Structure 1
Amino acid sequence: MSQTLLRCEGLTRRWGGLLAVDGVSLELALGQVHAVIGTNGAGKSTLINMLSGEIAPSAGTVALMGEDVTGWTQPRRARAGLGRSYQRNTIFPNFSVLENCRLAAQASYQRPWAWWQAAARCERSLTAAHEASARAGLNDVLDRPAGLLSHGQKRQLEIAMCLATAPKVLLLDEPLAGMGAEETERMLALLSELRAGHATLLVEHDMDAVFRIADWITVMVNGAVIASARPDAIRSDPAVQAAYLGGH
C-alpha cells in the first residue's frame, strides 16, 4: 500500500465574500506525483499556500506524516519535512548557487548555540548543499551567481534549495513556467528521479507535461474539485473536458 505523507480534508479558504478554496480533500503518497490542474483563479496556489502553512484555512485540516499540522506555522512544517517552490523565483541572485543551497540547508538546521563557528563552515549544511545541487544537476555552476543562471537553471536551483532542507513532501507551484522544450525535459527528468523518495504535489499548466509525469490528477474549478483520478480517466472525463481541457 502507498504511504500517505500529506493529507488535507475539507480545506476551505474564504476572503470576505469570495470562496477561493471550497472543501478540498486530497492525499499525497510516497513515490507519487499528484498534479493539481485548473484555470487561473481556480484556487490552486491558495491550496498550496494552505498546505504549506503560509496562510491559515477558514475550515478543514492538514496532516503531515500522520500528525495534525493545521495550526503549525510554515517554518515548523518545513522543519518537519515539507518543502515548496513558488511561481516566481525566490533565489538570492547575488549569491552563488552553492551559497543559495547552503542557506536553505542552514535554515532547517539552525545552531544558535554554535556562536564560535562561522555558519558558512557548517559541514552538515555544506554537505546538504552539495548533495542537493548535484541532484538538481547544478554541479557545473556551483560558483556562479544565481542571478546569472538561465531561467531553467533558476528553476532547478529552487528545487535544489528545497531539497537542501531534506523534505519528504514537495509542493511545486508551476516549476515548468516559462521553460523551453529542452529545459522542460530536464525538469521532468529531475521530477521523475525525485519521485522515489518523495510525495510530490505539482501545480502546472503544461498539460503535455502533466499527463507525462503525474500518477494522479486533481482538477479544480472555482475553488472546488470536479474530478480526481488517474490521468487516463481525467483525460476522458466529460466534465473535465468541458471545464478545462476543451475536448482534447
Structure 2
Amino acid sequence: MTEALLSSNLLTRRFGGLTAVDGVSLELRRGEVHAVIGTNGAGKSTLINMLSGEIAPSGGSIEFAGRDVTDWSQPKRARAGIGRSYQRTTIFPEFTVLENCRLCAQAALPRAWALWEAAQRCAASLAVAHEALAAAGLADVAQRGAGTLSHGGKRQLEIAMCLATKPRVLLLDEPLAGMGAEETERMLALLASLKSEHAVLLVEHDMDAVFRIADRITVMVNGEVIASDAPAAIRSNHEVQTAYLGESH
C-alpha cells in the first residue's frame, strides 16, 4: 500500500450551532479512487471544501505529502498539487476547449517576466494544455468552443482543466451528475486511467458507478463517518444499509 498523499485527522467544521463535519479522518493514496458517499447534508461538499482550502476547519488537521497544510490557502494548495472540480460546471463557454486548459496551465506556470510574449503563445502552457486534453480524451475537440460540448464533455473538460495544473490529488465533487449512460461510461474510464498517477477523492450519488470504480468507500451520515472500507465490506455493512443504501441494495 502506498503512503497517503492527502489525509485528514479529526477534521471538523461548525457553522454556528451546526456541526457539518464532525471528526472525519481519511487517507487518499495514489493508485486509489476513494469515494465518499452520503445523503444530502451529510457533509461531503464541506469536507472537500476543507481539503481544498476553500473553507477553514474548526478543528482537526490536514496533511499533504507529509506536510501540515491546515492553514494553507486554496491557491497555495492548488500550486502544491491539490486539484478539484465542482458540482456546477465552471468552464469558460466562450473560449475554445484548448484555451480553457491553457488558462489553467498558465496559472500553474506563471511567467510574469515574459512581457514581450503573448500569453496565448506560451509554448510551455500550450504543451501542458494539449497533454491534459489528451489525458481527458478531448484532443480531437481542442479547437471547439467549450460551450458547444455536451454535458459530459464539459465535465471531462473540467477534469482536463484540473489536470493542466499538474495535481497529485484530485478532489472530484459529483463529476457524474446529470450524465447519461454513455457519458457515465466515458467518465468512469477516465477516472480509472487517472488513478495510477493520482490520489482521487470522488463524491458521488450514483451508487452503481461508485461500487464499480471505487477502491475504498467512506460513508458519512450527519457529518460523521459511520464506515470506511473496501466496496464489498461496505455493501454488506448493516449500519450502512440501514442509514443510506437501503436494506435491499
TM-score (norm 2): 0.99
Write the letter of the residue equivalent to 2:4: T
Q: What is the aligned length?
A: 248
Query: 1:235 and 1:150 mapped to 2: Cα distance?
Result: 33
- Unpaired runs of at least 5, structure 2: none
Task: Establish whether residue 236 from structure 1 lines up as the match of residue 236 from structure 2.
Answer: yes
Residue 139 of structure 1 is matched in structure 2 by: 139
Over residues 200-230 of structure 1, what are the superposed CA-to-partner deviations in whole Å (9 max), with x where a residue is unaligned? Answer: 0000000000000000000000000000000
The Cα shift of 1:3 comes to 2.1
The 5 Å alignment of 1:161-240 reads 161-240=161-240
Query: 1:224 and 1:114 mapped to 2: Cα distance?
Result: 49
Query: 1:81 and 1:41 mapped to 2: Cα distance?
Result: 28
Give the fraction of aligned pairs with identical amino acids, expressed as a percent: 74
Task: Establish whether residue 61 from structure 1 lines up as the match of residue 30 from structure 2.
Answer: no
Structure 1 segments of 4+ aligned residues over 4 angstroms from their partners: none
Write the letter of the residue equivalent to 1:34: H
Residue 72 of structure 1 is matched in structure 2 by: 72
Query: 1:215 and 1:87 mapped to 2: Cα distance?
Result: 22
Q: What SS does the aligned partner of 2:195 have? A: helix
Q: What SS does the aligned partner of 1:197 have? A: coil
Task: Establish whether residue 111 from structure 1 lines up as the match of residue 85 from structure 2.
Answer: no
Write the letter of the residue equivalent to 2:7: R
TM-score (norm 1): 0.99
Q: What SS does the aligned partner of 1:2 have? A: coil
Residue 102 of structure 1 is matched in structure 2 by: 102
Query: 2:109 and 2:76 mapped to 1: Cα distance?
Result: 12
Task: Establish whether residue 10 from structure 1 lines up as the match of residue 10 from structure 2.
Answer: yes
Write the letter of the residue equivalent to 2:241: Q
Q: What SS does the aligned partner of 1:196 have? A: coil
Write the letter of the residue equivalent to 1:4: A
Over residues 76-129 of structure 1, what are the superposed CA-to-partner deviations in whole Å (9 max), with x where a residue is unaligned? Answer: 000001100000000001000000000011111111121111111111110000
Residue 82 of structure 1 is matched in structure 2 by: 82
Q: What SS does the aligned partner of 1:54 have? A: coil
